[in-house]
């Protein structure tokens, strides 16, 4: 790659210039992965660094992303380890632990033994099955081009995982990927590639956590391919400590009669910007996307969605629920997009927000971009506080005011929480929500 000195500094984020790229390329073994990194790097270079005057970033200033204060971890290699026996792992077939020191894959149920299900490092997968990786890494799921931070991860990722479920295989419990950072000043760039075969079904859960007071930066890129008739659930649970910054982008491509559930829950971190997109690209495909965010103190959450209907006879539903207290600020923005010819489409988009304290702020920007006629696309957005009649009803039945309010907020979020098919994860969510409510 040749480039002039002028272009490099203006479009590169601090620490992610040509030199750093050469280093990460040298550490990558698979040719297929290297080729994709190069293509992503070129696209990354061609895009301007996002700034607060761009429409998408007007409410979430990218200058707050601490690129200048963090250093990227070196490329982490995945290794196989024996299962830990921790009770919280019991609900999963495969558990992957990622930290600054490495990436360990533990096969708890023996699901990986016969080779029909794969969970391995992305570089390793590129070496053993270059054809598949080359085809999947083409970025086909990423319906929206020109996304700076996604291209950054696709070029520079320092931990990559590949999850593949063979045709007709049902993975009963699913895969948990747990990211933990304990060292301040590091940047983690995880890249996850999921491929669910024809008629297969699987759940992948990602969780992120770290201690308070530890400044880290995570920029994640996930890509999911759901083949005909398959079902896939992708859940992400963000519980970083109060100094972490989290940027993530998920894309799913859903084929004929297949279904995807994309569930995003954002609770931790100082600043979080998450974008989720689903391309229902063949008739009969369905995308459900949703999640919750609960901001307290000075937290900032930015949630972006795209329900991308590139094919006729497709459906999508979206539900995001958010609450803000303290001086927190939340931003929801998203679109339903129907391309020309995408007829008989049914799409709905809902965003409900609670503002629980005087200094908090919530912005909601739902949108419709419709280029086809025979369809039904709608959205609804609300912003308000708890319904005082409901509070009164509960108090009339002897509940103290604070308890009544807590119950109503938990009830507000339950619609999302109950979609998580793991008891342990639900319990953790409830605990987190209650902890946040105690501070309101």
User: Which residues of the chain form contacts with another protein (CB under 8 A)?
Assistant: 55, 340-341, 343, 353, 355-385
Nearest-angstrom CA–CA distance, 294 and 108: 33
Task: Tell me whether residue 358 or residue 398 sits nearer to another protein (CB atom).
Answer: 358
Task: Tell me whether residue 96 or residue 362 sits nearer to another protein (CB atom).
Answer: 362
Handedness of CA 281, 282, 285, 286 (dihedral sign): positive
Cβ 86 to another protein shortest distance, Å: 40
Q: For residues 230 and 166, is the Cβ–Cβ distance under 8 A?
A: no
Handedness of CA 19, 20, 22, 26 (dihedral sign): positive
Nearest-angstrom CA–CA distance, 261 and 327: 31
- Nearest by Cα to 326 from 241, 171, 438: 438
Cβ 308 to another protein shortest distance, Å: 15
For 207, residues 6+ apart whose C-beta sits below 8 A from its C-beta are 176, 177, 178, 179, 236, 237, 238, 239, 425
Residue reference for tokens 């490495």: 102
Cβ 79 to another protein shortest distance, Å: 48
Cβ 55 to another protein shortest distance, Å: 7
Cβ 254 to another protein shortest distance, Å: 22
Nearest-angstrom CA–CA distance, 108 and 85: 9
Task: Tell me whether residue 180 or residue 361 sits nearer to another protein (CB atom).
Answer: 361
Task: Tell me whether residue 187 or residue 355 sits nearer to another protein (CB atom).
Answer: 355
The first and second tokens of residue 386, run together, are 């708890």
Torsion of CA 263, 269, 272, 278, to 10 degrees: -20
Task: Tell me whether residue 170 or residue 359 sits nearer to another protein (CB atom).
Answer: 359
Q: For residues 198 and 117, is the Cβ–Cβ distance under 8 A?
A: no
Integer-rounded Cα Rg, in Å, for the chain is 21
Nearest-angstrom CA–CA distance, 170 and 84: 24
Cβ 348 to another protein shortest distance, Å: 10
Task: Tell me whether residue 87 or residue 340 sits nearer to another protein (CB atom).
Answer: 340
Task: Tell me whether residue 110 or residue 380 sits nearer to another protein (CB atom).
Answer: 380
3-state secondary structure of 230: coil
* Angle, vertex CA 431, rays to CA 427 and CA 435, nearest 5: 170
Task: Tell me whether residue 79 or residue 371 sits nearer to another protein (CB atom).
Answer: 371
Nearest-angstrom CA–CA distance, 105 and 82: 8
Cβ 389 to another protein shortest distance, Å: 13
Cβ 346 to another protein shortest distance, Å: 10
Task: Tell me whether residue 88 or residue 346 sits nearer to another protein (CB atom).
Answer: 346
Cβ 412 to another protein shortest distance, Å: 14
DSSP state of 153: H
- Nearest by Cα to 1 from 48, 47, 49, 40: 40
Residue 141 forms beta bridges with which residues? Answer: none
Task: Tell me whether residue 55 or residue 114 sits nearer to another protein (CB atom).
Answer: 55
Cβ 113 to another protein shortest distance, Å: 50
- Nearest by Cα to 252 from 226, 221, 215: 226
The terminus-to-terminus CA distance of the chain in angstroms comes to 53
Q: For residues 301 and 322, is the Cβ–Cβ distance under 8 A?
A: yes
Task: Tell me whether residue 42 or residue 297 sits nearer to another protein (CB atom).
Answer: 297
Cβ 323 to another protein shortest distance, Å: 11
CB atoms within 10 A of CB 203: 23
């Amino acid at each position: 790659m040749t480039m002039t000195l002028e272009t490099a500094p203006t479009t590169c984020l601090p620490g992610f210039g040509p030199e750093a790229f050469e280093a990460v390329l040298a550490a990558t073994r698979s040719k297929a992965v290297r080729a994709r990194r190069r293509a992503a790097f070129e696209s990354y270079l061609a895009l301007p660094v996002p700034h607060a005057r761009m429409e998408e970033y007007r409410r979430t200033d990218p200058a707050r992303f601490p690129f200048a204060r963090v250093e990227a971890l070196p490329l982490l290699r995945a290794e196989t380890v024996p299962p830990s026996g921790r009770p919280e792992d019991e609900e999963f077939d495969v558990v992957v632990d990622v930290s600054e020191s490495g990436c360990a894959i533990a096969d708890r149920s023996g699901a990986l033994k016969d080779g029909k299900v794969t969970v391995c490092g992305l570089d390793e997968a590129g070496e053993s099955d270059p054809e598949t990786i080359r085809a999947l890494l083409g970025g086909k799921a990423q319906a929206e081009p020109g996304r700076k931070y996604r291209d950054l991860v696709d070029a520079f990722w320092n931990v990559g995982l590949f999850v593949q479920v063979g045709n007709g295989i049902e993975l009963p419990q699913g895969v948990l990927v747990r990211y933990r950072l304990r060292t301040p000043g590091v940047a983690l760039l995880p890249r996850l590639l999921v491929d669910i075969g024809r008629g297969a079904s699987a759940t992948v859960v990602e969780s992120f956590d770290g201690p308070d007071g530890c400044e880290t930066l995570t920029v994640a890129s996930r890509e999911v391919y759901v083949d005909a008739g398959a079902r896939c659930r992708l859940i992400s649970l963000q519980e970083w400590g109060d100094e972490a910054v989290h940027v993530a982008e998920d894309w799913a491509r859903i084929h004929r009669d297949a279904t995807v559930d994309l569930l995003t829950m954002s609770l931790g971190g100082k600043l979080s910007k998450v974008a989720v997109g689903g391309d229902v690209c063949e008739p009969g495909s369905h995308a459900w996307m949703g999640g919750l965010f609960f901001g307290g103190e000075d937290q900032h959450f930015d949630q972006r969605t795209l329900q991308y209907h590139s094919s006729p006879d497709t459906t999508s539903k979206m539900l995001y629920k958010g609450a803000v207290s303290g001086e927190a600020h939340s931003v929801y923005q998203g679109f339903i997009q129907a391309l020309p010819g995408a007829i008989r489409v049914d799409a709905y988009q809902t965003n409900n927000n609670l503002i629980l304290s005087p200094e908090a702020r919530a912005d909601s920007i739902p949108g419709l971009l419709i280029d086809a006629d025979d369809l039904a696309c709608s959205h609804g957005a609300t912003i308000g506080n708890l319904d005082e009649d409901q509070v009164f009803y509960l108090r009339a039945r002897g509940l103290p005011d604070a308890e009544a309010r807590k119950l109503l907020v938990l009830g507000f979020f339950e619609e999302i929480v109950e979609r998580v098919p793991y008891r342990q994860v639900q319990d953790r969510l409830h605990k987190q929500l209650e902890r946040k409510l105690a501070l309101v």
